Amino acid sequence: MIAARLPDGDSLALAKDADKASSPLKDVQLISRGQLAPFFAAANVVAALLFSAALWGSAQTHLLIGWTALIAMVNFIAMRWAQSQAVKCVGRSGRAVPQWMMVGDVLARALLWLSLPVYLFDGLQPSDQVVAGSVIAGIGAAGLGLVVVPACAIAWMTSFTVGLCASLLLARTSIPFQHMLSILFTLGMSTVGVLTVARWAFNQLKTSADMGSQSESASLLLQEYEQRGVGWLWQVDAENRVVYISSRMSALLGKPSNQILGHSLPSLLGGNAELGRVLLEKQPFNSLEMELKTARGTRWVSMAGDPIIDTAGRFEGFRGVGSDITDVRQTQERLTHLANVDVLSGLPNRGRVRQLLGEALRTATVSNVPCAIMFLDLDGFKPVNDTFGHPKGDAVLQAVAKRLCDEVGPNGHVGRLGGDEFAIVIPDAQSRNKVEQLADRIIMAVAEPYMIDQIEIRIGVSIGCAFGPIDGATVDDLILKADLALYEAKGAGRGIARYFSSELQFEQEDRVRLESDIRQAIDLKQFHLAFQPLVNAKTKKLVGFEALLRWNHPQRGFVPPNVFIPVAEETGLMAALGEFVIDEACRAAASWPEPITVALNISPKQIILPALPNIVAQALARYRLPGNRIELEVTEGVFLDDSNRTLDVLGRLRALGVGIALDDFGTGYSSIGYLNKAVFHKLKIDGSFVREAGNKAGNVAIIQSIVQLAKSFRMSVTAEGVETAEDFERMRDLGCDTIQGYLFGKPLSYDRANQMVLGLGAKRMAG
Ligand code: C2E
Ligand code: MG
Ligand code: MG
């Protein structure tokens, strides 16, 4: 009945818990059981001795001695067994001890112990029964020695409760009721006490086993963390002296641990100020990156740490982790480098140039020392690429990059924006003079010939420059201004440097206005042609006219073609304007008798139009004009962009019977390379060259050789810009076939030109 009062649910839970308990719990149970085994065995033997002594004389002696000896032997064996299990069956490799075996051991010992008292009980005197009952109750309380395995304690206590109750119920001579009650009370109380202690002990064991397994896992994880090479652990005391550091870190620092332990961590890590500061703040920190000079060169480490605060709230130091992030850092640096560098030249790329300019501009704004940005565009680079191929083009770009770096030196940053465009950021542009000198030096250096695979290549460079923050207060603004200056430099004949100015901006704005005016002028038919006569050098007779485009703007007045034609070319208006010229020139030519020819100028922008031969053919057809009555004048500039395409178009024009003249010979690029392409029937020597011949003897020789060369290619030669009788005679004597110039007539209106033609007819008729 006392057993029935046992908290059944609890004891079941205890047994179940032990069953599914983790192995650390079982280990702790086995160890504690081994430790308590001598106490339990001794309690058994002492109780047996007490029982025997109490009944000495009342019971058969040999039974008492035999029973006591058996208990002593069985308990000794059981004690040794429990002790050996506490050693052998513990840990991962230990063989498990099933719980039924432990419970069986306890039950066997309980039954052995109870066997004699229960057997003798009925025959004993009531006073001896009281003694026997008390000893049984007492030995029941020895279940205390089994608290570590609750199931064993339950088995023990239950056995003795049942044994005692059975003895008392079976006894024919009844013990006084109060004695029986006190014995049962003693056993009942001790049973409840033992089971309470068992529960408590079990929970204690479980908690300590859980903690043990947690700390074991934690230390295994830390070991793994240190050994895997991921990172290292460190700990410092309240004075930042190293208390613990992983061996990997001491290896990285190249110092044995005795030179590290007890020393200040910040000073060991190269006196890192940032680390010193965060340690001083006693606050947790994370991802603190620092550079270390080690025996293996410069390394980068990242550290994290937490302050250690004891239970009384006192600061005891720091504990944390660290890792070597050198590889990550190097990869990052490589990626940043790649993102900022132009692969071909190794120079900063467009993005980086913008950054550098931004930095220079900020400093300039703060320090009042202006900075400068130069935009460079190579002149004549495209033909190099087209003629010699991209590998040689690349080699030229690399050579240019080197020359630029040599010229700029430490005074600025050279970058490549892409293609044949470069930029130079000059952080200190206090002396405008120096910047201008640098630009001039660069122009000269780039113009020096390049020897690439035994081929001599020549190019030039145009430079646009702007100063910050005077010309522009933002990167974009400054870039815009430098670009404008570059555009101006390109337009002004290339190979020169231009600096941004407000006039330049005004010119730019004016160009924009001019563009819209040209558009309007085309619609309003404000353009017309003027005709300048050409005469035979020998007979001075009119042989034809050059049609020159004229624009009389209602507000602007007369706008020279040198002003509006470049704008029309840039803005894509040249095609429409050119078509008008072709039509008008053909109309005029058709109105005049043979052999009067009309020459008209064709812009490089028109030459690249594949439709040009068709347009010309249609105009000829429209006025029923034979092709040989018109001449197209082109300058060498037509070969700058795509010479093969140009030659193809010129060939198709020539096939229409149209004459092709090479205009303005002696200016610009003057290369005789195109003369033998068999597309030209005439060469026109530029007026400036003709007029200078009067002063420069060298020019005469040059003109002479040009004329001879042209003749050898069966080309006729025209001298332009002849203003004086001397010029005329000189040119005639040098072998020029036709002469054009103010001497024989300025560009005339159609009517005046027509009169001249009619006059010629009249003269002829008269003659
Ligand atoms: P260009 O084709 O070389 O034309 C000859 C230029 O020299 C003309 O200037 C003419 O007026 C000028 N000139 C002729 N004789 C003399 C002289 O004795 N002394 C001086 N100082 N100058 C003389 P213009 O009309 O101002 O034309 C300039 C340039 O504009 C032309 O040079 C030509 O390249 C271009 N141009 C004119 N009309 C057209 C056109 O319809 N289409 C294209 N694409 N260009 C044109
Ligand atoms: Mg011309
Ligand atoms: Mg000309």
674-705 per-position pLDDT tens digit: 676 668 999 999 998 898 888 887 888 888 88
Residue 8, both tokens: 């059944």
Q: How far is the CA of 740 from the centre of ligand 3 (A)?
A: 10
Q: What are phi and psi of 416, to 5 degrees?
A: -115, 125
> In this structure, which residue's CA is closest to atom 43 in ligand 1?
601
The C-alpha atoms of residue 15 and residue 8 are separated, in whole angstroms, by 11
Ligand 1 is surrounded, with C-beta below 6 A, by 532, 548-549, 560-562, 565, 581, 601-603, 633, 663-664, 687, 720-723, 740-742, 747
In Å, what is the CA distance from 122 to each residue of 56, 132, 184?
Answer: 16, 11, 17
Does the structure show a pLDDT above 90 at 91?
Answer: no
Task: Taking each helix axis as running N to C, give the angle between helix 350-367 and helix 326-340, from 0 to 180 degrees, rounded to the nearest 10.
Answer: 90
Residue 358 confidence (pLDDT):
96
Residue 668 confidence (pLDDT):
57
Residue 474 CA to its chain's centroid (Å): 25
Q: How far is the CA of 661 from the centre of ligand 1 (A)?
A: 14
The structural domains of the chain, with segments of one domain joined by +, span 2-218, 229-331, 341-500, 513-766
Long-range contacts made by residues 6-13, C-beta under 8 angstroms, separation at least 24?
6/154, 6/157, 6/158, 6/191, 6/195, 7/195, 10/195, 10/199, 11/150, 11/151, 11/154, 11/195
- Say which residue the tokens 């060369």 belong to: 709
In Å, what is the CA distance from 223 to each residue of 125, 306, 562, 655?
Answer: 70, 19, 84, 90
Looking at all shown ligands, the one closest to residue 581's CA atom is: 1
Nearest atom in ligand 1 to 747's CA: 11
> In this structure, which residue's CA is closest to atom 17 in ligand 1?
721
Which range among 386-390, 670-674, 750-754 shows the weakest confidence by mean pLDDT? 670-674
Nearest atom in ligand 1 to 581's CA: 41
Instruction: Determine the 3-state secondary structure of 387 from DSSP.
Output: helix
The C-alpha atoms of residue 672 and residue 662 are separated, in whole angstroms, by 11
> What is the CATH number assigned to the segment(s) 513-766?
3.20.20.450
User: Residue 495 carries which DSSP code?
Assistant: S
Q: How far is the CA of 617 from the centre of ligand 1 (A)?
A: 24
Q: How far is the CA of 618 from the centre of ligand 1 (A)?
A: 26
Nearest atom in ligand 1 to 562's CA: 30
In Å, what is the CA distance from 421 to each residue of 14, 342, 355, 447, 539?
Answer: 85, 12, 17, 15, 53
- Mean pLDDT on 393-418: 96
Which range among 250-259, 326-335, 468-477, 518-527 shows the weakest confidence by mean pLDDT? 250-259
Q: What angle do CA 252, 256, 257 make, to 5 degrees?
A: 95
Q: What is the pLDDT of residues 175-224, one digit of tens each?
A: 666 767 777 787 777 778 878 887 887 787 778 777 766 777 777 777 77
* 336-368 residues labelled b (16+ CB within 10 A) or e (exposed): eeeebbbeebebbbbebbbbbbeebbeebeeee
Looking at all shown ligands, the one closest to residue 561's CA atom is: 1
Residue 18 confidence (pLDDT):
45
147 C-beta neighbours (distance < 10 Å), count:
23
Q: Which residues contact 395 (CB under 8 A, 6 or more apart)?
A: 450, 452, 453
Q: What are phi and psi of 633, to 5 degrees?
A: -100, 125
Q: How far is the CA of 634 from the centre of ligand 2 (A)?
A: 7
Q: Which amino acid is at 207?
A: T
Looking at all shown ligands, the one closest to residue 665's CA atom is: 3
- Which of 484, 486, 479, 490 is CA-nearest to residue 507? 484
Q: What's the pLDDT band for 720 if we cut at 50, 70, 90?
A: very high
User: Residue 467 carries which DSSP code?
Assistant: E
> In this structure, which residue's CA is closest to atom 4 in ligand 1?
548
Q: What's the pLDDT band for 14 if we cut at 50, 70, 90?
A: very low
Query: Please, where are the H alpha helices in 228-318?
Result: 247-253, 265-268, 273-281
The C-alpha atoms of residue 640 and residue 645 are separated, in whole angstroms, by 11
Architecture of domain 341-500: 2-Layer Sandwich (3.30)
Q: How far is the CA of 447 from the centre of ligand 2 (A)?
A: 29
* Adjacent-strand bridge partners of 264: 241
Q: How far is the CA of 735 from the centre of ligand 2 (A)?
A: 20
- Which of 335, 425, 311, 323 is CA-nearest to residue 372? 425
From 518, 529, 545, 548, the mutation candidate for ligand 1 (largest count of ligand atoms within 8 A of CB) is: 548
Nearest atom in ligand 1 to 569's CA: 44
Looking at all shown ligands, the one closest to residue 728's CA atom is: 1
From 663, 720, 731, 744, the mutation candidate for ligand 1 (largest count of ligand atoms within 8 A of CB) is: 720
Say which residue, 436 or 255, is predicted with more confidence.
436
Cβ–Cβ < 8 Å for 295, 254: yes
13 C-beta neighbours (distance < 10 Å), count:
14
Looking at all shown ligands, the one closest to residue 685's CA atom is: 3
- Say which residue the tokens 């004549």 belong to: 380
Judged by phi (left if over 0) then psi (alpha if -120 to 50, else beta), residue 692 lies in: alpha
Q: What angle do CA 51, 55, 58 make, to 5 degrees?
A: 160
- Mean pLDDT on 738-752: 96
Residue 749, both tokens: 């209106």
Q: How far is the CA of 743 from the centre of ligand 1 (A)?
A: 15
Residue 670 confidence (pLDDT):
54
> In this structure, which residue's CA is closest to atom 34 in ligand 1?
601
Nearest atom in ligand 1 to 722's CA: 18
Q: How far is the CA of 596 from the centre of ligand 1 (A)?
A: 19
> In this structure, which residue's CA is closest to atom 13 in ligand 1?
721
Q: Which residues contact 342 (CB under 8 A, 6 or more apart)?
A: 348, 349, 415, 416, 418
- Mean pLDDT on 222-228: 72
Looking at all shown ligands, the one closest to residue 633's CA atom is: 2
Residue 549, both tokens: 């485009």
> In this structure, which residue's CA is closest to atom 3 in ligand 1?
664
Residue 758, both tokens: 């009619």
Residue 608 confidence (pLDDT):
86
Residue 4 confidence (pLDDT):
35
- Which of 549, 582, 537, 535 is CA-nearest to residue 757? 535
Q: What is the pLDDT of residues 157-170, one digit of tens each?
A: 888 888 888 887 77
Cβ–Cβ < 8 Å for 14, 151: yes
User: Residue 146 carries which DSSP code?
Assistant: G
- Which of 283, 278, 277 is CA-nearest to residue 309? 283
- Mean pLDDT on 281-293: 88
Q: How far is the CA of 479 from the centre of ligand 2 (A)?
A: 37
- Mean pLDDT on 359-366: 96
Q: Which residues contact 382 (CB under 8 A, 6 or more apart)?
A: 420, 640, 641
Give the strand pairing for 297-309 and 285-294.
Answer: antiparallel
In Å, what is the CA distance from 403 to each residue of 377, 385, 436?
Answer: 14, 19, 17
Q: How far is the CA of 385 from the centre of ligand 2 (A)?
A: 30
Q: Which amino acid is at 132?
A: A
Residues near ligand 2 ion, CB 5 Å cutoff: 601, 633, 663
- Which of 564, 561, 630 is CA-nearest to residue 597? 630
Residue 713, both tokens: 């290619």
> In this structure, which residue's CA is closest to atom 27 in ligand 1?
561
Which range among 159-173, 415-429, 505-519, 656-670 shows the weakest confidence by mean pLDDT? 159-173
In Å, what is the CA distance from 756 to each residue of 359, 460, 497, 532?
Answer: 68, 46, 47, 11
Nearest atom in ligand 1 to 529's CA: 41
Which range among 183-197, 267-281, 545-559, 722-736 shows the weakest confidence by mean pLDDT? 183-197
Fold observed for domain 229-331: Beta-Lactamase (3.30.450)
Nearest atom in ligand 1 to 686's CA: 3
Q: How far is the CA of 546 from the centre of ligand 1 (A)?
A: 9
Q: How far is the CA of 705 from the centre of ligand 1 (A)?
A: 24
Nearest atom in ligand 1 to 603's CA: 44
In Å, what is the CA distance from 762 to each residue of 127, 535, 750, 752, 758?
Answer: 179, 17, 18, 15, 6
Q: How far is the CA of 559 from the centre of ligand 2 (A)?
A: 17
Q: Is the peptide bond before 595 cis (omega within 30 degrees of 0)?
A: yes
Give the strand pairing for 315-324 and 597-601.
Answer: unpaired
Residue 192, both tokens: 């409840």
Q: How far is the CA of 58 from the centre of ligand 2 (A)?
A: 155
From 601, 686, 724, 731, the mutation candidate for ligand 1 (largest count of ligand atoms within 8 A of CB) is: 601
* Adjacent-strand bridge partners of 94: none
Residue 6 confidence (pLDDT):
35
> In this structure, which residue's CA is closest to atom 16 in ligand 1?
721
Residue 673 confidence (pLDDT):
66
The C-alpha atoms of residue 671 and residue 369 are separated, in whole angstroms, by 46
